[in-house]
Amino acid sequence: MARELQKRPSTAYDVARLAGVSQATVSRAFTPGASISPRTLAKVTSAAEALGYRPNLIARSLITRRSNIVGLAMAHMDNAFYAMLLSALNDHFAQVGRRLLLFAGNPRGESDPMLSEILKYQVDAIILASTTLSSSLARDCHKAGIPVVLINRAAAANGVSAITGDNIVGARAIADYLLRGGHERLAFVAGLENSSTSQEREQAFIDRVVAKGMARPQRTVGHYRADATREAVRHLLGARERPDAIFCANDLMAFAAIEVARFEFGLEVGKDISVIGFDDVAAASLPTWSLTTYSQPADAMARAAVRIIESGETTGQTQRVPGRLQVRGSARRPLT
């Protein structure tokens, strides 16, 4: 069928004859991840090259029902954490012979009607990073047996898996570290109000501080954006009772907070004021920022997504990938 439509000069049959193998072997040679000996693979590859044969994976996907394409919707690609995550997903899926088809995520984090378009491409699975999906799309995917994995959003719907960093353990570790450092007036800068990631970090941080008998931290909102964070931090630092420590829900906002403290208020970060982030993007370790932060390992999260999808499971599971507190210079260290 594919042959008739394609009108390609050479077929798998021709390749099999020239290589002296069966058609099934030719098929395996062109199926990423299929089992075949290196010697046989070499025979098939050189026969295919001699004949100018190229398998049409798209046509084949109609028969095998496996397109080897994974749909990925991602918002906030300009945030270094998501750029790192995208690169890691791309690498790890390539290793199992799968490719990413990109869809735009809604930067406000709401489910996007455009996402339903993903299903039209007969993808093997769907990953949504920092964006959610409507319950009707989740239902459609479940019915079609297509695994759905959310990254950095909690799974609300049935059969949807979720991978997050360890928001709760991380936010508690940050609270403990700041309190041990003798800070007394804490503040939290939230990301998007409707993001489960920001909500978890805020709740765990505030609960821990209150549980330790300290004053409830102030809170303000940076919407995961640099401009909104600068505005929010200006208000915090301009107030009469200025906080002595600020925990920002991600590194991007922590960098913005550091700049406002340094350039607009002339404060020495790590001495006059402490700033802590969450993510541990590459820039966090630069001397310029020397950002104390809780790591969210993009590579491990990408590997977890690949594992869930390769298992073919669609019952839905939640995985928290552990991180650790990266102690650097942006927050005053405890004396002991």
Q: How far is the CB of 326 from a copy of itself (least distance, A)?
A: 18
CA atoms of 91 and 260, how far apart (whole Å): 37
CB nearer to a copy of itself: give 179 or 291: 291
Q: How far is the CB of 209 from a copy of itself (least distance, A)?
A: 29
Q: How buried is residue 244: exposed, middle or buried, by Cβ count under 10 Å (0-12/13-18/19+)?
A: middle
Size of the residue set binding a copy of itself (CB under 8 A): 46
Pairing label, strands 245-248, 218-221: unpaired
177 binds a copy of itself (CB under 8 A): no
63 binds a copy of itself (CB under 8 A): yes
Residue from the set 24, 59, 215, 239 that interacts with a copy of itself by CB under 8 A: 59
Beta bridge partners of 248: 189
**Phi and psi dihedrals of 163, rounded to 5?**
-125, 125
Site residues for a copy of itself, 14-53, by CB under 8 A, read 30
271 binds a copy of itself (CB under 8 A): no
Q: How buried is residue 145: exposed, middle or buried, by Cβ count under 10 Å (0-12/13-18/19+)?
A: exposed
Q: How far is the CB of 262 from a copy of itself (least distance, A)?
A: 8
Residue from the set 22, 23, 87, 311 that interacts with a copy of itself by CB under 8 A: 87
Residue from the set 67, 197, 250, 330 that interacts with a copy of itself by CB under 8 A: 67
Interacting residues toward a copy of itself by CB under 8 A: 1-2, 5-6, 30, 54-59, 61-63, 67, 69, 77-78, 80, 83-84, 86-87, 90-91, 94, 99-104, 114, 119-122, 140, 255, 259, 262-263, 282, 286-288
